[in-house]
Amino acid sequence: MEIDNKSLIEAINKMKEEKTLESQNRVVAEVLKAKFMCPVVLQSAPKGGGKITIDKTTQIQFSVVKTTEGKNYLIAFTTEEEVHKWQKEKTQQSIIYTFEDYAMISTNNENIEGFIIDPKGCNLVFTKEMIKNIKSNITSESTVEKDSQIELGIPKDYPQELVDKLKDLFMNIPQIKRAYLQLMVKDEAMSYLVLIDADGNEKEYFNTIASAAIPFLNGMPLNLASLNTEFGQKAIEEFSPFYVKE
């Protein structure tokens, strides 16, 4: 599989120069979209490299970086060049992983503290705590108390990439009839609010929508809500949907 992490590398370099919240959020957004090479040792791997079919019975041993404190981190390479900086021989077996893959492995393994992007290059570390914060900040179902102070509006910096991605997704989910996107300010905290009108239970599609949206949020929290609630009906007053089923 071909991988292209040029946008991520550019974002990391810019963050090192500017060190602003905006540049940090951009790196997170690119990491969420990226595909990485994770070095492993696979059972019955062919000598001299090559491809191997992985199934449920395949035993995978992860290569890790151990810090001076004795903590183990998985490795996420952005390019073949970075792989060869770490492993001179061209026989290294790798699996293509995403942020979600690294997050799942780190969360479920007490001996893994997170992952490091290009340990011989940018050496960018994502700890378990950072992973947890990123995941908790990107998707949550909107719950609104009666006394909450809420303001709704159209985002000044409209997330067109996010909207385009959701439109493509909804075209393949015929149950979704309409969708609205707004900027929500709740108790001084900003987030995107996406309201869904669908046949059946809208919540059935929230995980699918959240997974598709993650790479395009640029650090902004996302709230998902059903249109078929009192809050949903009030929230769409004077707003137009960004998606309508044809």
The model's pLDDT over 2-29, given as tens digits with 9 standing for 90+, comes to 789 999 999 999 999 987 777 887 788 8
Gap between the Cα atoms of 158 and 183, Å rounded = 9
The residue among 33 and 110 whose pLDDT is bigger is: 110
- % of the chain exceeding 70 in pLDDT: 85
Q: Average model confidence (pLDDT) for the chain?
A: 84
What is the distance between the alpha carbons of residues 128 and 147, in angstroms, rounded to a whole number? 35
Indicate the pTM of the whole model: 0.63
pLDDT value, residue 146:
46
pLDDT at 42: 73
Chain centroid to CA 224: how far? 16
Q: Which tens digits make up the pLDDT trace of 77-106?
A: 999 999 989 886 666 688 999 998 999 999
Per-residue pLDDT for 167 more than 90? yes
For residue 191, pLDDT over 80 is answered with: yes
Amino acid at 173: I
Q: Say whether pLDDT at 182 is over 90.
A: yes
CA distances from 224 to 102, 105, 124, 138, 182 (A): 25, 26, 31, 11, 11
What is the pLDDT, as a whole number, of residue 81? 92
Q: Distance between CA 135 and CA 157 in Å, rounded?
A: 23
User: Where does the pLDDT of residue 119 fall: very low under 50, low under 70, confident under 90, or very high at 90 and above?
Assistant: very high
The better pLDDT of the pair 166, 58 is held by 166
pLDDT greater at residue 35 or residue 208? 35
Q: Which fold would CATH assign to domain 140-244?
A: GMP Synthetase; Chain A, domain 3 (3.30.300)
Q: What is the pLDDT of residue 145?
A: 47
Ordered by start, the domain boundaries in the chain are 6-138, 140-244
Comparing 32 with 110, the larger pLDDT belongs to 110
